[in-house]
Chain A
Amino acid sequence: MPATPALRRYNKRVLISCAAYGFSLVGGISYFNNHPGAHGPTAYLAAVIPALAIIGVFVAVGRYLVEERDEYLRMLMVRQSLVATAFALSLATLWGFLNSFDLAPRIDSYYVAVVWFAGLGVGSCVNALIERRAR
């Protein structure tokens, strides 16, 4: 995709969110290592801040869709996000049922976000395939 001003802002926001995630995760792990069994407001804060950083990436995607003036590039990102959403929800549903019948181990729900990010990669491939087939 060409680097439009909206895409440059998107990349910057994603980088900031990723950096914030890295720092807050290290801080959170360090906090809970030093305060085993902590349950106070600080513990909740330490647990939630890494999640807020991940949510920042979702916000960045939303802002990009609002700010991108090139409607074709916006459509590509919409399609990419829809593929990612379908991919993540499908895997989460499959895993949930497998887990319910004791056929798969329980995994933390935040992995849905990780799978969604992987789904963006799948969406990018789908975009490339559709574009190639249409030529």
Chain B
Amino acid sequence: MNNHLRDLRGERGWSQQELAERLDVSRQSVNAIETGRYDPSLPLAFKIAELFGLAIEQVFTSPSRES
């Protein structure tokens, strides 16, 4: 599942470690989500979206809408 996490993190000037600490997950998790190797659970996806003050679909691209 594609997402805009790297861009959103970049806009705020956060490192992967800083984002991981804000989400209470490991840096590896952030890296895996950013690179599309891991799709987060719904609770974690909500947590990520809420951290950026966005709706889930503004952070993650629906697989059915991916070209």
Which A residues are within 8 Å of any B CB, using their own CB?
Answer: 1-2, 4, 69-73, 75, 130-131, 134-135
**B24 contact set on A, CB distance < 8 A:** 69
B29 on interface, CB distance cutoff 8 Å = yes
Q: Are B36 and A73 in contact (CB under 8 A)?
A: no
User: Interface residue count for B (Cβ, 8 Å)?
Assistant: 15
With A2-B26, A71-B29, A134-B35 already in contact, 20 other A-B pairs whose C-beta atoms are closer than 8 Å: A1-B28, A2-B28, A69-B24, A70-B25, A70-B26, A71-B25, A71-B40, A71-B41, A71-B44, A72-B25, A72-B26, A72-B29, A72-B32, A72-B38, A72-B40, A73-B28, A130-B37, A131-B32, A134-B36, A135-B35
Which residues of B pack against A, CB within 8 Å?
24-29, 32-33, 35-38, 40-41, 44
Indicate if the CB atoms of B27 and A2 lie closer than 8 Å.
yes
Which chain A residues lie closer than 8 Å to B35 at the CB level?
A: 134-135
A1-B41 Cα distance, complex, nearest whole Å = 20
Cα–Cα distance between A69 and B40 once the two chains are bound (Å): 13
Closest B residue to A4 by beta carbon equals B26
Are A134 and B37 neighbours in the complex by a CB distance under 8 Å?
yes
Residues of B within 8 A of A134 (CB): 35-37
